[in-house]
Structure 1
Amino acid sequence: MTVEVVTKDGAKSGTIELPATVFGVEPNEHAMYLAVRAYLAHRRQGTHKNKTRSEVSGGGKKPFKQKGTGGARRGTSRSPLQPGGGKIHGPIPHLYRVELPVKVKRLARKSALALRARENNVHVVEDFTLQQAKTKDIASMMKALNLDGSKVLVLLPQTDTNVVRSARNIPGVTTFPADKISAYDVLSHGKLLIFKSAVQTLEQSFGSN
């Protein structure tokens, strides 16, 4: 697949062939589903906890006498039947981690990238650097490329502090090193803006089986 390469000012500077080993695969919906499910599961802390009857405070003394009150007998205020008592079968801390084979994760990434390419939502920009972090520099680029107002994932060949800082205050714009992305990162953004040299990074990172 061939796409145009533009400068950050929006001027066309040439074309580039997207690697078929990454952008030309048949999108696998099930692999993407598994990857997204695993990603969201990993984000959960799993620190939820209710106290059982052995952990709540109080309960050392019988609340009231056994007979004569007209009410049900009670031996402790920590009973799950009592207000403020322990919880029966409440949540306990545990991991929600879901392990996926490396090949499935790689297929999910390639499927997500190929899906965006099929939708014509992959844009390639000539590499550039910023002398200092300024939000207006990235904002003006997004406007020049008709990407303002969209959820855009910017893929860098490597972490560029000034670019990252310039983009992080723009709603919907996220920057990532190309070799660190997940299927969720791609699927949660409608458009991809890839630095030209990051295309090769994607091929080297995810092009193999």
Structure 2
Amino acid sequence: MKVAVLDINGKDTGRKVDLSAHVFAIEPNNHAVYLDVKQYLANQRQGTHKAKERAEISGSTRKIKKQKGTGTARAGSIKSGVFRGGGRMFGPRPRNYSIKLNKNLKRLARKSALTMKANDKDIVVLEDFNFEAPKTKNFTAVLKALDIQNKKSLFVLGASNNNVYLSSRNFKGSEVIMNSELSTYKILNANKLILLESSLEGIESNLSK
């Protein structure tokens, strides 16, 4: 698949790159995508929720009324969950929500997500660039030139670039990551996927195994 390479001004450089068919043109596996996104979202959960149960509530342990003859249900403790101020019955406890998936399935999910973006023509290949200093206005100019200032965008770098990363931090709708940090969720969550030229080799190398 041939894709034109643009510069930071949004203009065609006259060069084209060939996106690997093994990564950007496979038969998408929707279930693999679902499982990988499910794992990503589950792993974001802290699982630190906790409610006090009757054994953890401070209160009297005396039997509050006699067992029989009251005409109402028996009650043995004021700390019971049926009384106001009592413990919570079957309340949430700390737990680990993380899910494990094998590497081949995660690799298939990422390739499926990239293929979906390629089919929708939502992938832009940008030549490598850098800023002299981290400035928001420099990154704003790039977004305007690519006409994506009002869209969610994901910039994928081939190597760490602190100036570009810091310049993008004020934009909630834009994110800058390394090619090794690419995930199915981040690919699908972005309206436009901006791949820098230097990132392509790493992406194809990681996903062609």
Q: CA deviation at 1:91?
A: 1.6
Partner Cα separation in structure 2 for residue 94 and residue 171 of structure 1: 30
Aligned twin of 2:101:
100
Q: Unaligned 5+ residue runs, structure 2?
A: none
Aligned CA distance change for structure 1 residues 31 and 68 (closer, same or farther; 3 Å): closer
Aligned twin of 2:6:
6
Q: CA deviation at 1:70?
A: 8.0
RMSD in angstroms over aligned alpha carbons? 1.8
Aligned twin of 1:127:
128
Aligned CA distance change for structure 1 residues 102 and 67 (closer, same or farther; 3 Å): closer
- CA offsets, 1:90-110, max 9 Å, x none? 221111111101000001011
Aligned twin of 2:175:
174
- Partner amino acid for 2:8? K
Partner Cα separation in structure 2 for residue 162 and residue 57 of structure 1: 55
Partner Cα separation in structure 1 for residue 6 and residue 74 of structure 2: 80
Q: Percent identity?
A: 41
Q: CA deviation at 1:61?
A: 3.8
Partner Cα separation in structure 2 for residue 203 and residue 70 of structure 1: 75
- Partner amino acid for 2:55? S
Partner Cα separation in structure 1 for residue 165 and residue 33 of structure 2: 27
Q: Unaligned 5+ residue runs, structure 1?
A: none
Q: Does structure 1 retain, via aligned residues, the 8 Å contact 2:5–2:127?
A: yes
Partner Cα separation in structure 2 for residue 31 and residue 163 of structure 1: 32
Aligned length in residues:
208
Partner Cα separation in structure 1 for residue 144 and residue 159 of structure 2: 24
Partner Cα separation in structure 1 for residue 196 and residue 96 of structure 2: 37
- Partner amino acid for 1:130? F
- Partner amino acid for 1:128? F
